[in-house]
Amino acid sequence: ASLTNIIKLDIQVRLFDDEGLHILMGMPSLAYLQLTVGFRGTMSPMTVSSNGFKLLEVFHFHCNISYGEKGIEFAAGAMTALRRLHLSWRARLVRLRSSDDVGMGIQHLSSLMQLQVETWCVGATLEEVEALEGPVEKAVTLHPNRQTLQLHLHRKDEHLMFKVEE
């Protein structure tokens, strides 16, 4: 009950599960969320459904999971007020998925105006980095606001990527 009036939240957690996500989604006044996740109990991504985050306009999701796990997906109808999304993740040891993996459902975020994706490249190969960025770019082409959606892809520590010969 004491969480009903929180508008802005910046939280860092080591372990985050679906129950934690449902608690955050149930915060009715939340407009700005910065969530840093260090570890997820299961290796499958958590899904943001249409049942929460009704007023959320800005979402920063930092995933420190070091095995290329994106950590999050968006269902159809999720976060209808979301204007800005910032994703940050590690590319190291990414598990390559099928070619029909379309950017974690980013195309479902109908009000999105700005998408910033930061990929940490330390110890990753170019193939691993592209496996995370490619589906995001594909999702943007399917997005209803694709003509006006601002996409910013940034590779952090790109100089520390493994080269093919390494």
* Average pLDDT per block of 10 residues along the chain, 166 residues long: 86 86 92 85 75 94 65 89 92 54 80 92 86 84 89 91 72
pLDDT score at 101: 56
pLDDT score at 61: 92
Position 49: which residue type?
Answer: S
pLDDT score at 129: 86
pLDDT score at 42: 53
Task: Return d(Cα 92, Cα 73) in angstroms, integer.
Answer: 19
pLDDT score at 2: 72
Give me the phi and psi of 142, to 5 degrees please: -95, -5
pLDDT score at 69: 52
Distances (CA, A) of 32 to 15, 39, 60, 88: 21, 22, 8, 16
Of the chain, the end-to-end C-alpha distance in Å amounts to: 54
Task: Return d(Cα 137, Cα 98) in angstroms, integer.
Answer: 15
Q: Reduced to 3 states, what is the DSSP secondary structure of residue 79? A: coil
Of 163, 86, 81, the residue nearest 127 (C-alpha) = 163
Can you name the residues that pair with 12 across neighbouring β-strands? 36
